[in-house]
Structure 1
């Protein structure tokens, strides 16, 4: 056995057969969870179901709090609709996935663009891989561009703008613009001008 193999045998491995069950975050009966899985497939995720109105009605029927004027595009996924809260006039892009084992709060006039993934869950990776959850809070006016990942505990301030393919953790200040890669501020989203049209800044 070489040195690397010897070192590897000393590293702990968690027995996943003993990890706590997946139903910890359900908060509803097994029948409701399974019924939702069927309705999600037929009315929410289904690319052939093009009506945002039907999608929103089905989500509300299962406990989602969705205000007026919200647009829900096809191929969206919602883990638990009873833990989803969306303010008025927000846009949810095609393929967005709310993996909300904890609550996700989305303010009014928020844009969550195509293929973005919001997940509130993680695991106790040094102990037993038990489920750990933290809510996500998104303030009004935020734009999350395409294919972003927003992790549990994230708090996005009013009118923050997150560039495509970013991984969002922690607190994002209001009115800040972030690009993909290491999260770093690149400037303010809205700024005072002398009246001249400075145009939109490219991310």
Structure 2
């Protein structure tokens, strides 16, 4: 077998720098609740915030979470008041995700706090929090990457990729910032 590209040696991956903050039993209980209840169309949307709170999330009032929403670790999630999270959104929160009040995360949007050190031969983690400030909108199938803050009232348009901070009231489209 030939050597890995760019000297990559994934066998040596240690996972350094990533703390799940809960034991295996709690992680397993969350994955069971997520897959057996939380994502299902028949599970009432008004119960989803309560289930997240039961696993350590901080969730405000009048939060609407549609079905098929996935949350990696509820205990690393803070959501303000009057937030909407659309069908099929994915919150990959290896690090904290903070969603302030009056924010809309639309259908199939992804908030991803995880990445890898591309120059590391063992591809170690390079994670950082994501923050959505008050009144912003992450539109359908948009992607917000690790370490990004989406400023107050800003818009990450449908299909856009936010890989750096977005100023308040800025609009990022799939073609760039306006």
The aligned length equals: 176
Matched, 1:42 2:12: no
The alignment status of 1:56 with 2:49, answered yes or no, reads yes
User: What is residue 30 of structure 1 aligned with on the other side?
Assistant: 24
SS at match of 1:137: strand
In structure 2, relative to structure 1, the CA distance for the partners of 1:30 and 1:88 (3 Å cut) is same
Q: Secondary structure at the match of 1:109?
A: coil
CA distance in 1, matches of 2:77, 2:109: 15
Matches within 5 A, 1:68-87: 68-87=61-80
CA RMSD of aligned residues (A): 1.9
| Residue matched to 1:175 | 169
Q: TM-score, normalised by structure 2?
A: 0.92
With structure 1 as the length reference, what TM-score do the two structures score?
0.82
Which structure 1 residue ranges, 4+ long, deviate > 3 Å from structure 2? 8-11, 21-24
Choose 1 or 2 for highest CA Rg.
1
Partners in 2 of 1:152 and 1:30 — Cα distance? Answer: 25
**2:151 counterpart residue number:** 157
Provide structure 1 residue ranges, at least 5 long, that are not aligned to the other structure. Answer: 1-7, 186-203
**CA offsets per residue over residues 55-74 of structure 1, 9 Å max, x none?**
11111000011000100000
Structure 2 portions without partners, runs of 5+ = none
